[in-house]
């Protein structure tokens, strides 16, 4: 049981990532979050545009 618990803990927490965020100020963490959200939205938008153009191309060869 102990081995399973250790494996579970090791795979669910990236200690280096936690340490990086703890070293940042609250403002820096918010900025990082904003940048991440912006990137996700840009990727989502690009993906949807590509999907739209592929559908449009299939309908109007």
Would 18 be classed as within a structural domain? no
53 vs 51: CA distance, rounded Å? 6
Domain of residue 45 covers 24-61
Would 6 be classed as within a structural domain? no
Structural domains in the chain (count) = 1
Would 43 be classed as within a structural domain? yes
More confident of the two residues 49 and 6:
49
Quick one: pLDDT at residue 44?
97
Query: Would you list the DSSP string of 8-42?
Result: HHHHH--HHHHHHHHHS-HHHHHHHHHHHHHHHHH
Q: Does pTM surpass 0.75?
A: no
How confident is the model over 10-49, as pLDDT tens digits?
A: 568 899 999 999 999 999 999 999 999 999 999 999 999 9
Q: Which of 32, 3, 2, 37 is nearest to 17 (CA)?
A: 32
Would 46 be classed as within a structural domain? yes
């Amino acid at each position: 049981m102990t081995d399973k618990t250790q494996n579970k803990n090791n795979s669910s927490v990236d200690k280096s990532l936690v340490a990086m965020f703890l070293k940042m100020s609250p403002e820096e963490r918010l900025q990082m979050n904003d940048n991440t959200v912006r990137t996700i939205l840009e990727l989502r938008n690009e993906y949807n545009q590509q999907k739209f153009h592929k559908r449009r191309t299939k309908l109007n060869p």
